[in-house]
Amino acid sequence: MLVIGAYYFISVFQPGSGDYTYQQFMKDVKSDKVTAVTIKQNKEVPTGTITAEFGKDDYKSCEVTDVNQAINDIKKADSSLANKISIKGIDHSGDMISNLIGVVLPIGVVIFFMVMMMRQNGGGGGKMMDFGKSRAKLANPNGKKVTFNDVAGLTEEKEELEEVVEFLKNPGRFIKIGARIPKGVLLVGPPGTGKTLLAKAVAGEANVPFFSISGSDFVEMFVGVGAARVRDLFAEAKKHSPCIVFIDEIDAVARRRGSGLGGGHDEREQTLNQMLVEMDGFGVNEGIIMIAATNRVDILDPAILRPGRFDRKVGVGRPDVKGREDILKIHCRQKPLGDDVDLHEIARTTAGFVGADLENLMNEAAIQAARDDRAYIMKEDIDKSFIKVGIGTEKKSRVVPESERRITAYHESGHAILFHLLPDVGPVYTVSIIPTGTGAAGYTMPLPENDNVFMTRGKMIQDIMVSLGGRIAEELILDDITTGASQDIKQVTQYARAMVTKFGMSDELGLINYDSGEGDEVFLGKEIGQQRPYGENTQTVIDQEVKKIVNKCYKDAKAMIEEHIDVLHKCAALLLEKERINRAEFEALFEPETEVETQA
């Protein structure tokens, strides 16, 4: 916009240049075509306008830079024309004002818009001239505080951080014996396990200034901005020392350097280098404790993980059954529960859930109760929210052809029978042929009752067998097979290949890791060039071993379903009638002497 204004300024004050030029005028004078000349001289300047008269009502004009020189040129070219020159003065005061308005107005508009943009982007370190300012937010000491009482299921993790809080409150107790405060604490764990909540609890307990910022707030499109923001962040932290600086999702700025498609020295690496220097360089940052959270510790740069920068690495894992029960108690503080709600039973049936999942589970249950105009949450609400959280929203209004409903019923019945018969993968929680929002035509939801730390070979074999159950049922009952088992087949292949290449569960290949790391993302710090650490012959053996495992599982699973073919038919019929059946209804199908009562 400034360039446009400058161009307009030049164009206004530059003498106009039409089709008729001074050179053409002089040619016409020498050719005796001009009968009279009128010169209008600008005030106080030698420039002016020459108007040549060629006859009646025939005039042409051009601009001249020096009127006196033009008069001398005319006299030399045609002395008889000298007596026919009329000279007039021009008052340009009005033109000058209009010209100034034409220049000042666009420049003023440009300045106005620049000021408005700066005001709009103001606040939070976002001003146009404040790119290098840190975007860290200082927690309000008078605001609502989160304490360790609000954190459940993380007993050992809280103990680690309580020591940091104690050091901030009473540093003399530790300094007296020669201990130093940890410079950094890295919280590592899956999403939703409570890493950010732990950091908020530290802030609430420590009663010291608490700065929080996201890793993505450092990196910008302009080179050097991230490093400047790191410097500004630590400069602000030093002013409020002792204090805590919390960086959420630090993997956005601290990824491994010198790898991936981006190559070497980019803006992110400059930012990381500055952070490394600030955390443990020549400067002194006493009293500043760094807390960072990530769920991708595998892609972090090794330099930031060493002692002296992040002295402690606290693993925040999935809670066990006792931890889940404690978390549920916290999330039910403000939620009235019905007499039929047993939090211990809910905790037992939500193996694998993290804190965020449990919070979402109870929130969906509360929404369901409010939708039904009830003042308390019933077990029925939690059961519905369990399906919604685990599978997705059911599309009950979707019209499904009867032939497809029958295919889905037998497919899901095949999965469910194997879930029930195999000891390490069941029991069945619910079976449904209602389509879901995720695109599935139906689902079979198991109910794991144990928190398994390890995956045994037997458990992986049973997982493969269960995944094959749907395709086996289709082959046994239907005239043709469908694409409904595509995701199951993909999962089967992944399990079998992992058993052979990663976990040493193949007798033929032995205890050797053949995993080439092909799943590693180049954009997450891995190398762009990947090579298999084995030859073609070994690849052939791997494929043969994978196929051998899948074929064996398929044969065993098919035999089990054929043995319970009557249950397969009864389960499919019950699903076609009710669309969804629970654990009790499904397990009753295996009792040959009991007639199953269907409910409308």
Residue 535: phi, psi to the nearest 5?
-95, -175
Catalytic residue among 205, 278, 364, 412: 412
Residue 294, annotated as binding a ligand: no
Let me know the angle formed at the C-alpha of 49 by 47 and 50, rounded to the nearest 5 degrees: 125
Which 3-state string (H, E, C) describes 261-278?
Answer: CCCCCCHHHHHHHHHHHH
Put residue 84 in one of left, alpha, beta given phi > 0 → left and psi -120 to 50 → alpha: alpha
Give the bridge partners for 42, in sequence order.
Answer: 90
412 noted as active-site residue: yes
Residue 102, annotated as binding a ligand: no
Please choose, from the candidates 286, 222, 216, 282, the residue with its C-alpha nearest in 3D space to the C-alpha of residue 255. Answer: 216
Let me know the angle formed at the C-alpha of 304 by 256 and 195, rounded to the nearest 5 degrees: 95
Residue 480, annotated as binding a ligand: no
Contact status, residue 1 vs residue 110, Cβ threshold 8 Å:
yes
Residue 352, annotated as binding a ligand: no
Rg over alpha carbons for the chain, rounded to the nearest Å, is 40
Q: Given strand 580-582, what is the order of strands in its sheet?
A: 443-446, 428-432, 580-582
**174: which residues sit within 8 A by CB, 6+ positions away?**
167, 180, 181
Please choose, from the candidates 230, 223, 241, the residue with its C-alpha nearest in 3D space to the C-alpha of residue 276. Answer: 230
DSSP assignment of 85-98, as one string?
A: EEEEEE--HHHHHH
Let me know the angle formed at the C-alpha of 402 by 398 and 407, rounded to the nearest 5 degrees: 100
**Pairwise CA distance, residues 337 & 334, whole Å:** 10
Q: How many residues does the chain have?
A: 600
**Pairwise CA distance, residues 258 & 366, whole Å:** 49
Q: In this structure, what token pair is assigned to residue 593?
A: 């002497």
Residue 190, annotated as binding a ligand: yes
Please choose, from the candidates 536, 457, 535, 448, the residue with its C-alpha nearest in 3D space to the C-alpha of residue 496. Answer: 457
**Pairwise CA distance, residues 402 & 408, whole Å:** 10
Residue 195, annotated as binding a ligand: yes
Contact status, residue 218 vs residue 249, Cβ threshold 8 Å:
no
**Pairwise CA distance, residues 358 & 193, whole Å:** 10
Residue 342: phi, psi to the nearest 5?
-115, 105
Which element (helix H / strand E) includes 137?
strand 137-138
Q: Hunting for tokens 């590693």 — which residue is that?
A: 520
Residue 189, annotated as binding a ligand: yes
**267: which residues sit within 8 A by CB, 6+ positions away?**
219, 220, 221, 222, 223, 224, 225, 226
Annotated binding-site ranges for ATP: 189-196
Residues that are catalytic: 412
Annotated binding-site ranges for Zn(2+): 411, 415, 488
